[in-house]
Structure 1
Amino acid sequence: MKLQIEGQHLRVRIDEDELAQLLAGDVVDARSYFADAFAIGFELALIDADEPRFAGQAGAWRIELPQVPVREHVDRLPTREGLRFTLPANNGKDELTLLFDVDVRDSVRRRRSP
């Protein structure tokens, strides 16, 4: 799982193995260590809901994506287009844009090879 943060935009990109894990109902997790200063744990899961959820605290994030749009997205793979969600903030101005995609190069290699 790869995470990219730029301002109020968070991009989550996974490969085909992680996608299979996610579709099987498992949680995809990763951990990044920032030298000896601190570490951040990340979890990605599918949920039966209409909207994504973001939970956790500074050192442990959990991103939950709605199952239906993710499964519909899988039917269109390989594609460079990802899923885009907006998570509102309590103050109404710091909403988070969440982009989810599957590594296109990995998808092309796996889905188009004999």
Structure 2
Amino acid sequence: MQDQSVRLRLDEAELARLLAGESVENTTRFGGIEGWGMAVSLHAGEQPVLLDGGTFCRLVLPRNAVEALAARLPCRDGLPFDIALDEGGQLQLQFDVDVRDSVRQRGVTRRSTASSV
């Protein structure tokens, strides 16, 4: 996290759960029982949605965009989203899948170049 920017990086197992319709959740504890948590899930819409609950928030991402990212893995380019906030501000979200984990799970995909005949 930095200012109004959040980078969210999942591994291949978490991506598979997300694509299967599950939520992926994470909670960071700051000692004791208090902490901050985030859940990520997918929806059929075209724009991401942020549901804020104070110490826990849910990001709901567009399924089609995440599926398109999954189809081109492994790659370094993730999905950038701008999420409008209630008070007129904006949250910049960078959604990535760990490229090293993708290479381990999927192998290296060579990009083909067009050859002239």
- Indicate whether the TM-score tops 0.5: yes
1:62 maps to 2:58:
yes
Stretches of 4+ aligned residues off by more than 6 angstroms:
none
Q: How far has the Cα of 1:88 moved from its partner?
A: 1.5
Query: Which of 1 and 2 has greater Rg?
Result: 2
Unpaired stretches in structure 2, ≥5 consecutive residues: 109-117
Secondary structure of 1:6's aligned partner: coil
Partner of 1:106 in structure 2?
101
Q: Could you report, residue by residue, the CA deviation over 1:51-72 in whole angstroms, capped at 9, with x for unpaired residues?
A: 0001021211101000001100
Tell me the number of residue pairs that the alignment of Structure 1 and Structure 2 aligns: 108
Alignment of 1:1-114 (within 5 A): 5-36=1-32, 38-92=34-88, 94-112=89-107
Q: How far has the Cα of 1:37 moved from its partner?
A: 7.0
Q: How far has the Cα of 1:35 moved from its partner?
A: 1.6
Q: Distance in 1 between the 2:14 and 2:62 partners?
A: 16
Partner of 2:113 in structure 1?
none
Unpaired stretches in structure 1, ≥5 consecutive residues: none
- TM-score between the two structures when normalised by the length of structure 2: 0.86
CA RMSD between the two structures: 1.4
- TM-score between the two structures when normalised by the length of structure 1: 0.88
Secondary structure of 2:17's aligned partner: helix
